[in-house]
């Protein structure tokens, strides 16, 4: 499944200072892949340069990322071929002070992991369903909600709805049976709102968790293993 089409969805909430964060995210995406960006813009972007803004709307104070995930889900649902879907957003845009600095480091770390090796992503997605970093269980999710997955995986997911609990949105991508890869199986849990994370502290060592459905709609995580790449 090498050389499949790629779609890079960026959720853009036009809060104060969003332009700098958006440009920072773009800097991690290889130049040859920027034609694949789909910027879902909520609010007024003014005259700032955007890559393929497919939705620009004034939604008042609601800047929830669910609308972008819904668009991505719909895109995959009606796409007839296999493809790879990336999802990133302006993590930390509403924070200030030291917490903002930590969120900036968190966002940059996640972008680095996601775009550092597109060829590795393609190889892993030949065998696994979804890739990301900083993976936690209970529920299974990628901290920060940055990931790349197959279109066929998105089509298996239920339609995502608005909920007040953000953990629901983060665990949506991992809520069905599948094999979920963490780029850094050596990750040690830290509070990322209080600590700055840096790629040099973590070796790329992909591991996966296989989530299996049980009767009555429950799930468990029976397998944790080193990825075969």
Burial class (CB in 10 A: 0-12, 13-18, 19+), 64: middle
Q: What is the pLDDT of residue 175?
A: 92
pLDDT at position 1 over 50: no
pLDDT at position 62 over 70: no
What residues have CB less than 8 Å from 202, skipping those under 6 apart?
184, 186, 187
Grade residue 229 by pLDDT with cuts at 50, 70 and 90: confident
Task: Give, as one character, the DSSP assignment of residue 56.
Answer: E
Mean pLDDT of the chain: 91
Q: What is the pLDDT of residue 61?
A: 61
Q: pLDDT digit string (tens) for 88-138? A: 999 999 999 999 999 999 999 999 999 999 999 999 999 999 999 999 988
Helix (H) or strand (E) holding 169: helix 166-171
**Cβ contact 130:153 at 8 Å:** yes
pLDDT at position 58 over 80: no
For residues 168 and 131, which has the higher predicted lDDT (pLDDT)? 131
Determine the structural domain holding residue 82 and report its residue range. 5-226
Q: What is the pLDDT of residue 19?
A: 97
Q: What is the pLDDT of residue 168?
A: 84
Q: What is the pLDDT of residue 167?
A: 78
Specify the number of domains making up the chain.
Answer: 1
Grade residue 139 by pLDDT with cuts at 50, 70 and 90: confident
Tokens 């609601």 correspond to what residue?
62
What residues are paired with 83 via a beta bridge?
A: 5
Mutual orientation of helices 97-115 and 18-28 as an angle, nearest 10°? 30
């Amino acid at each position: 499944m090498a050389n499949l089409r790629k779609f890079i969805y960026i959720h853009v909430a036009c809060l104060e200072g969003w332009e700098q964060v958006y440009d920072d995210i773009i800097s991690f995406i290889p130049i040859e892949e920027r034609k694949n960006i789909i910027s879902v813009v909520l609010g007024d972007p003014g005259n700032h340069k955007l890559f393929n803004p497919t939705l620009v709307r004034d939604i008042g104070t609601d800047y929830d990322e669910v609308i972008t995930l819904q668009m991505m889900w719909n895109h995959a649902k009606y796409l007839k071929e296999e493809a790879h879907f990336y999802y990133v957003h302006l993590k930390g845009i509403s924070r200030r002070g030291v917490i903002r600095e930590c969120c900036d480091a968190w966002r940059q770390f996640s972008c680095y992991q996601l775009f550092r090796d597109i060829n590795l992503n393609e190889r892993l997605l030949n065998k696994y369903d979804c890739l990301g970093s900083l993976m936690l269980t209970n529920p299974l999710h990628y901290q920060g909600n940055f990931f790349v997955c197959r279109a066929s995986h998105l089509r298996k997911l239920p339609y995502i709805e608005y909920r007040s609990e953000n953990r629901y949105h983060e665990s949506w991508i991992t809520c069905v049976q599948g094999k979920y890869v963490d780029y850094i199986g050596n990750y040690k849990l830290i509070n990322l709102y209080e600590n700055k994370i840096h790629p040099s502290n973590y070796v790329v060592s992909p591991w996966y968790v296989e989530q299996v459905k049980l009767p009555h709609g429950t799930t468990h995580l029976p397998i944790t293993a080193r990825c075969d790449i």
